Structure 1
Amino acid sequence: MGRPTSGFTHAEYTGLVDDGKYPDTPLVPLDEPFVNSSGRILNVLLKRFTSAAWIESNAGSLRANHYHKTDWHYSFVASGTVVYGWRPSGSTALPEVSEFHAGQLFFTPPMVEHVMYFPVPTTFMTFARNLRDHVSHESDVVRVDPLFSVVWSETAGTFTYKINGPDRRSSPAGGPLS
């Protein structure tokens, strides 16, 4: 990845993606919405993509634990929270972790192991480069050992996640790592 991590506009960030120069930060800046007396329009993505998916995830669930050989995807959080972990494919380092909330857009490039944990019911959309029918998607995915594990906390009465690895770290009661 190796690009600057802040100060991008939406057009600059997505332009880098189009050029195959993937920014280090998964957070994609959004332009200000257009607002008038009829309401509000937020342009989430002003670039080409092949597939769009609406995904609903239950509280305490995990998705991904894989990487894509050639595909990339933008993910827009419609409601809830995504705790996102990522690292370069083949790495044994602990993954980096960010938390994304409703109204935020984040990006996953090819060859990046990633996991998504949902501490609360969450709905998000993905916009992908490659066709995302089941056969096409599975042919591009490489499954990896789980980056996160989900555990029930009796004291908190909720699910939490743990980062898997030699120096396991855990989240406070469903929240981000500190």
Structure 2
Amino acid sequence: MNSQPHPLSHAEYTRSVDEERYPDDPHVPLDEPFVNAAGSILNVLLERFTSVALIESHPGAVRANHYHKTDWHYAYVLSGSVVYGWRPADSTENVQVRTFTTGQMFFTPPRVAHVMYFPERTTFMTFARNKRDHDSHEGDVVRLPPIFDARWSPFTGQFTIGADGFEPSGGPRS
């Protein structure tokens, strides 16, 4: 994970999405939570969206391998981790790969091919522009052949990611 501060604040990032100026970096910066004697409040999303989905994924699961024609979505990781791969939909460039963990959020704009690998049990929420019912979602999705491959090794206790020739090793235990 990049330890450099994000160049945009949470409000600037989400406002740019609301104005259809999509940032290149999928990592969405979050502000520090408000904390008092009653607990804490974390503002996860400051702009408009249409639907929310709660998604649970089993260790080793792969989701997506598609892009959306018009939809965008934020994904907030409640628990676990997501190895996220992405590239422009009509591109043959190597897939970029980043891992997001509990308490982090990432963004997928329209026409960005993406895939998610779950090295451990993971629960996340998506906040989307379009309706998330099955017919609306599937009508906006363009399925792709696998753009990403992840393999778990019980011998090394690690997974290897292969994405169009890009093969970094490592990651959290599954």
TM-score (norm 1): 0.89
Residue in 2 that maps onto 1:77: 77
Write the letter of the residue equivalent to 2:161: K
Secondary structure of 1:169 counterpart: coil
Residue in 1 that maps onto 2:109: 109
Residue in 1 that maps onto 2:167: 169
Q: Structure 1 residue 157: deviation in Å?
A: 4.8
Alpha carbons 2:34, 2:41 under 8 Å: kept: yes
How far apart, CA to CA, are the structure 1 residues paired with 2:152 and 2:41? 39
Q: Structure 1 residue 168: deviation in Å?
A: 4.4
- Identity among equivalent positions (%) equals 61
Structure 1's 13 and 157: CA in aligned 2 closer, same or farther, altered over 3 A? closer
Secondary structure of 1:94 counterpart: coil
Alpha carbons 1:117, 1:161 under 8 Å: kept: no
Deviations 1:88-139 (A, max 9, x none): 0021111111111111111000000001111111100000000010000000
Q: Structure 1 residue 31: deviation in Å?
A: 1.4
Write the letter of the residue equivalent to 2:51: S
TM-score (norm 2): 0.91
Q: Please identify, of 148-157 and 18-27, the stretch whose mean Cα deviation from structure 2 is larger.
A: 148-157
The total of aligned residue pairs comes to 168
How far apart, CA to CA, are the structure 1 residues paired with 2:85 and 2:148? 8
Q: Please identify, of 139-148 and 64-73, the stretch whose mean Cα deviation from structure 2 is larger.
A: 139-148
Task: Report the RMSD for the aligned CA atoms in angstroms.
Answer: 1.6
Gaps of 5+ in 2: none
Residue in 2 that maps onto 1:14: 14
Secondary structure of 1:31 counterpart: coil
Residue 98 in 1 paired to residue 137 in 2?
A: no
Deviations 1:71-93 (A, max 9, x none): 00000000011110000002111
Alpha carbons 1:94, 1:163 under 8 Å: kept: no
Gaps of 5+ in 1: none
Residue in 1 that maps onto 2:50: 50
How far apart, CA to CA, are the structure 2 residues paired with 1:78 and 1:85? 19
Write the letter of the residue equivalent to 2:169: S
Residue in 2 that maps onto 1:41: 41
Structure 1's 168 and 13: CA in aligned 2 closer, same or farther, altered over 3 A? closer
Deviations 1:45-73 (A, max 9, x none): 01111110000001111110000000000
Write the letter of the residue equivalent to 1:58: H
How far apart, CA to CA, are the structure 2 residues paired with 1:130 and 1:154? 40
Write the letter of the residue equivalent to 1:79: S
